[in-house]
Structure 1
Amino acid sequence: MSTLSRGSSCVSNGQVGNFSIEEIYKATEKFSPANKIGEGGFGTVYKGRLRDGSLVAIKRTKKNKFDKRLSLEFKNEILTLSMIEHLNLVRLLGFVEHGDEQIIVVEYVSNGTLREHLDGTRGNGLEIAERLEIAIDIAHAVTYLHMYTEHPIIHRDIKASNILITEKLRAKVADFGFARLAANDPDASHISTQIKGTVGYLDPDYLRTNQLTEKSDVYSFGVLLVELMTGRQPIESKRPMSERVTIRWAIQKLKEGDAVIAMDPRLKRSPASNMALEKVLKLAQTCLAPLRKSRPSMKECGEELWEIRKDFRERFVAPSPSPIFYHSSTFPESDAKQNQDISFIIEDGEKYKFMSA
């Protein structure tokens, strides 16, 4: 694992981004409120423009040098981001520690969060085909974290507001402040002294036992799948009592044979979209199994989503003029063949799989 040095910065491909605090101040116009694009428990995110004209996102921690939790999350996010390189994961460009300033510089993703798109405050509304693509992107990213990094990584905070959307409506997973390394033994688990995550997405098995595994991310992903299909947030306190916990309400409708009632009303109804909705909710139901051993892996989630997308295309578009290829980023192997690349390739008519580049 990397170590941090004050006043320096690094990226996962070994290149060094030398950001001075003066450059950060200039890029953000001294952290002008006009450049503020987000805020959370970690601190505030600003849009910045570097000397070469490129746009970046600059995360500034809350100014409390005595808050050990924030300092730990700052270092944790840097160390996690420095180990990963994937098309569907936000890329680290550098970091700065200067006095009581702790700053992370990452790639700028210009089209807001998935939550904003589902709320209708961004874009023109996501069609079901676009939602399936986003779900697959997220599955690719988390599969990479779990299986294809040198040390498996558990994100611990998979949620719609941590999914950034590009102008081409592709997804990038962000915010690694809560992430931690998984045990090398896939059957092993971490005992956590402090529960981390977001209410509504937290794995009940993790809450009950304090044991953290990759299946905790799978549970959160199940909540996210329900969000994608319903458009609702995980907890909606203004709804009738039976609808306040979205996953309970949606899965109950699925069990009753009325899954279409749970569909986001902004989505167009059709036999193809109704079928996709039902299949995604069934996948979500397996992800939300109370016991982690009953949940699929993230790779299995990706495989199932690809099949759902394939069936949707065949029903919705006929005939397709040519096979459609999906290429995500290159995956480093997790075994001794570290120098060979693996490409995540999806091709209509073939099994969803990892193939040698």
Structure 2
Amino acid sequence: MSSVEQVLNCLQIPLKDLAKATNGFSNGNVIGNGEFGIVYKGVSDGQRLLVYKYESNGSLGKHLSSTDLTWIQRLRICLDAARGLQYLHDGTGSRQRILHRDIKSSNILLDEKWTAKISDIELYKLNPGMTSTFFFSNIASGTIEYVDPAYEETGLLTKESDVYSFGVLLFEVLCGRIARVKESTDEHQFSASLIKNHWERKH
């Protein structure tokens, strides 16, 4: 078992402790709905559950269109997220690369000082020893608006797949809105496709 896997196993929290922390998974402690289930807020004094440190400013996705978020803050958030992604890709200090597979604005959490932190690693892939440069899967995982077209087409997952998703996130910050956008035709499109179409039309 790798050192990273050992650390992850040590972070498992018993269900009874989680139930206690969330007041029996009370509806009053619900703060959102994630892709894999309900998200609860709890206070800490088996079953497979994902626990994150609560960050008071929530996700970046909730603030994209806010006029209160300055350009300096936006740039710092992007730099924080880039450093976090680099940390995962460079082996986390143990020569083991982690591919996130679901980089998006709603998975970037902001603390009380607006420091950005990458969250939601349910879909991660661990590359032991960094001996190979890709993983293969029959079906591309992740959120479709952010999925690397090359990964979706070939099933080959590389760190560049995460970088593509991060690029979509940067466009979200630049444009001040999420990757799925609503056109005047009342149809939803992905910002990456719209950007490509506008670039080809030169406007």
Same fold (TM over 0.5): yes
The separation in 1 between residues aligned to 2:174 and 2:14, in whole angstroms, is 44
Match runs of 1:79-98 below 5 Å: 97=46
The separation in 1 between residues aligned to 2:40 and 2:113, in whole angstroms, is 22
Matched, 1:244 2:189: yes
Relative to 1, partners in 2 of residues 1:205 and 1:241: Cα closer, same or farther, differing over 3 Å? Answer: farther
SS state of the match for residue 50, structure 2?
Answer: strand
- 8 Å contact 1:243–1:249 — kept in the other structure? no
1:136 pairs, out of 79, 86, 95, with 79
Pairwise CA RMSD: 2.8
Kindly provide the CA deviation profile for residues 49-71 of structure 1, in whole angstroms up to 9, marking residues without a partner as x: 122xxxxxxxxxxxxxxxxxxxx
Unaligned 5+ segments in structure 2 are none
The separation in 1 between residues aligned to 2:79 and 2:58, in whole angstroms, is 18
Partner of 2:23: 29
The separation in 1 between residues aligned to 2:131 and 2:43, in whole angstroms, is 43
* Structure 1 residue 249 displacement after superposition: 3.4
- 8 Å contact 1:182–1:213 — kept in the other structure? no
Partner of 1:329: none
SS state of the match for residue 161, structure 1?
Answer: helix
* Structure 1 residue 203 displacement after superposition: 0.5
The separation in 2 between residues aligned to 1:222 and 1:133, in whole angstroms, is 15
1:109 pairs, out of 55, 75, 83, with 55
Partner of 2:121: 176
Relative to 1, partners in 2 of residues 1:216 and 1:196: Cα closer, same or farther, differing over 3 Å? Answer: same
Partner of 1:39: 33
The separation in 1 between residues aligned to 2:137 and 2:191, in whole angstroms, is 27
* Structure 1 residue 43 displacement after superposition: 1.6
The separation in 2 between residues aligned to 1:224 and 1:249, in whole angstroms, is 15
Residue identity opposite 1:22 in structure 2: K
Residue identity opposite 2:172 in structure 1: E
* Structure 1 residue 246 displacement after superposition: 1.7
- 8 Å contact 2:57–2:110 — kept in the other structure? yes
Partner of 2:64: 118
Residue identity opposite 2:39 in structure 1: V
2:88 pairs, out of 120, 132, 145, with 145
Relative to 1, partners in 2 of residues 1:4 and 1:148: Cα closer, same or farther, differing over 3 Å? Answer: closer
* Structure 1 residue 233 displacement after superposition: 1.7
Q: Which structure carries more relative contact order (alpha carbon 8 Å, separation 6+)? A: 2
Relative to 1, partners in 2 of residues 1:250 and 1:130: Cα closer, same or farther, differing over 3 Å? Answer: farther
The separation in 2 between residues aligned to 1:243 and 1:44, in whole angstroms, is 26
The separation in 1 between residues aligned to 2:157 and 2:21, in whole angstroms, is 39
The separation in 1 between residues aligned to 2:111 and 2:17, in whole angstroms, is 26
The separation in 2 between residues aligned to 1:202 and 1:104, in whole angstroms, is 23
Unaligned 5+ segments in structure 1 are 12-16, 52-96, 259-357
- 8 Å contact 2:91–2:98 — kept in the other structure? no
- Range with greater deviation from structure 2 (228-237 or 19-28): 19-28
Identical residues among aligned pairs (%): 37
Relative to 1, partners in 2 of residues 1:213 and 1:169: Cα closer, same or farther, differing over 3 Å? Answer: same
What TM-score results when the alignment is normalised by the length of structure 1? 0.50
The separation in 2 between residues aligned to 1:242 and 1:43, in whole angstroms, is 27
Match runs of 1:166-205 below 5 Å: 166-182=111-127, 184-185=130-131, 188-205=133-150
- 8 Å contact 2:77–2:114 — kept in the other structure? yes
The structure that has the greater radius of gyration is 1
State the number of aligned residues.
Answer: 197
Residue identity opposite 1:31 in structure 2: F
Match runs of 1:312-331 below 5 Å: none
- 8 Å contact 1:236–1:243 — kept in the other structure? yes
Matched, 1:208 2:147: no
